[in-house]
Structure 1
Amino acid sequence: MTTLQELLNQRAELERQIAETQRQERVEAIATIRQLMSDHGLTVEDLSSVRGGARAASNGEGKRGKVPAKYRNSATGESWTGRGLQPKWLKAALAEGKQLSDFLIAAA
């Protein structure tokens, strides 16, 4: 039977191996990234501007427009875009047996 001390020693050795493997994989990943950057003529500035540039290209200003409401509660006027969590008023109505399509706003 394995003793507690032997198991602790095994764990310490595994943790050492894990740390070494993580370090080695990180070194390899950095080398791969540097090679790709060199191959494609990229700089660090190129990497940081890609995120902002991609957004700016999507709608011309780098800002996201407001999403129009897709569902409306005709009794209260509350609305929901259909994104994110369902609002409480909609959850309650659905629990009462109504359908999501009952609240759909007709396209203009």
Structure 2
Amino acid sequence: MATYQELLAQKADLEKQIENARKQELSDAIAQIRSLMSQYGLSVADIAGKAGSGGKASATKGSKVAPKYRNQATGETWTGRGRQPKWVEQALASGKSLDQLAI
């Protein structure tokens, strides 16, 4: 049966082997990616999706949404996304509907 110190030494050796294997696999993966990028004439921007890849999520991410509801008294607006503003909550509590607040 192995002693505690021997097991710790084995663990340290295995961790080194794991790290070396990881580095080698990452290096191989990067080389393969660079080869494919060269073969197909791709750039980093193409890979990152910043060159107009047409992806729906990236095309709408960060874009402004038009307001759907307006407070007639103050002119405040709300897009209908996220938490309801206090003026919407108060209007709904007073018996109004969202349809009545719609722009």
Matched, 1:24 2:21: no
Q: Is the 8 A contact 2:78 2:85 kept in 1?
A: no
Q: Which consecutive residues of structure 2, in runs of 5 or more, have no partner in the other structure?
A: 71-75, 90-96
Q: Quick one: distance in 2 between partners of 1:10 and 1:70?
A: 64
Q: Quick one: distance in 2 between partners of 1:71 and 1:2?
A: 72
Q: Is the 8 A contact 1:71 1:79 kept in 2?
A: yes
Q: Is the 8 A contact 2:65 2:79 kept in 1?
A: no
Matched, 1:5 2:5: yes
1:55–1:5 distance in 2 versus 1, CA, 3 Å: same
- In the TM superposition, what are the counterparts of 1:44-55 in structure 2 within 5 Å? 46-48=43-45, 51-54=49-52
Q: TM-score when scaled to structure 2?
A: 0.51
RMSD value, Cα: 4.0
What one-letter code is carried by the residue in structure 2 that aligns with 1:12?
A
Aligned residues: 86
Sequence identity (%)? 37
- In the TM superposition, what are the counterparts of 1:68-83 in structure 2 within 5 Å? 68=66, 79=78, 81-82=80-81
Q: Quick one: distance in 2 between partners of 1:12 and 1:51?
A: 40
Q: Which residue of structure 2 aligns with residue 38 of structure 1?
A: 38
